Amino acid sequence: AQKVTQAQTEISVVEKEDVTLDCVYETRDTTYYLFWYKQPPSGELVFLIRRNSFDEQNEISGRYSWNFQKSTSSFNFTITASQVVDSAVYFCALRSGGSNYKLTFGKGTLLTVNP
Amino acid sequence: DTEVTQTPKHLVMGMTNKKSLKCEQHMGHRAMYWYKQKAKKPPELMFVYSYEKLSINESVPSRFSPECPNSSLLNLHLHALQPEDSALYLCASSPRGKSAGNEQFFGPGTRLTVL
């Protein structure tokens, strides 16, 4: 069975603060893929990143960065200098062949960035 | 064009009505998905079509009937729904069939209310 835990249900920050969203995963498969999605109030899930289990390099894309640590089964997401437009629900998700390719989502973290 | 479109955006229907949700993508993706999302919850997988064949049915009640007329279109036919079926219905597609490494691209969703 696979599982994704996002322990932070809600986070509130003031604009320009840095914020880290935590994601811890469980899987028995040796090959798996991790994803982050953003869901603004409009409802559409926006794909942010995919990370393969065999690639532990961290990634930076503008104000976004991701820290993948297999040793702690974590795939954390940091937003630097947050902006009001970053306000959304963020989902971490896991997918592996052993799960019949089902995308397992965490419960999501609601991020509110206040001006 | 990295867009998945869904119509209608909003739908209100009675329990005796028959309606359909439509999803379209022109990215040449070979897998398409239906998800159901209740408020403050992550999306739940309903159906997966891979190369236009139904690949996964997550034990969805028969009042939901999916159809994939061609590689670009996905429909969800609704009949005799219950008020608890009210939710956001999301369509997604991924490039290379249903394999684990594909990121899924989501549409904006149809917000369904069953009276």
- pLDDT of B33-72, one tens digit each? 999 999 999 999 999 998 899 988 999 999 999 999 999 9
Q: Give the mean pLDDT of chain A.
A: 92
Q: Give the mean pLDDT of chain B.
A: 92
CA distance A32 to B100: 7
* 3-class SS of residue A62: coil
What pLDDT, on the 0 to 100 scale, is given for residue A96? 81
Residues of B contacting chain A (CB within 8 angstroms)? 40-43, 45, 48, 56, 58, 88, 90, 92, 98-101, 103-109, 111
Mind listing the pLDDT tens digit for each residue in A92-112? 999 986 555 678 999 999 999
* 3-class SS of residue B85: helix
What pLDDT, on the 0 to 100 scale, is given for residue B101? 67
Strands B110-114 and B10-13: parallel
What pLDDT, on the 0 to 100 scale, is given for residue B1? 54
Mean predicted confidence (pLDDT) in B80-101: 86
Structure confidence at residue B100 as a pLDDT band (50, 70, 90): low
Residues of chain A with pLDDT under 50: none
Amino acid letter, A101: Y
What pLDDT, on the 0 to 100 scale, is given for residue B2? 59
What pLDDT, on the 0 to 100 scale, is given for residue B6? 97
Q: Give CA separation, A33 vs A22, A30, A104, B23, in Å.
A: 16, 10, 10, 25
Quickly tell me which residue has 């052993």 as its tokens: A98
What pLDDT, on the 0 to 100 scale, is given for residue A42? 87
Please tell me which of the candidates B90, B101, B108 has its beta carbon nearest to residue A52: B101
What pLDDT, on the 0 to 100 scale, is given for residue B38? 97
Distance of CA A14 to the CA centre of its chain: 20
Task: Tell me the chain A residues in contact with residue B42 when contact means C-beta distances shorter than 8 Å.
Answer: 91, 105-108
What pLDDT, on the 0 to 100 scale, is given for residue B64? 97
- Please indicate if any CB of chain B lies within 8 Å of the CB of A64: no
Task: Please say whether the beta carbons of A36 and A49 come within 8 A.
Answer: yes
What pLDDT, on the 0 to 100 scale, is given for residue A59? 86
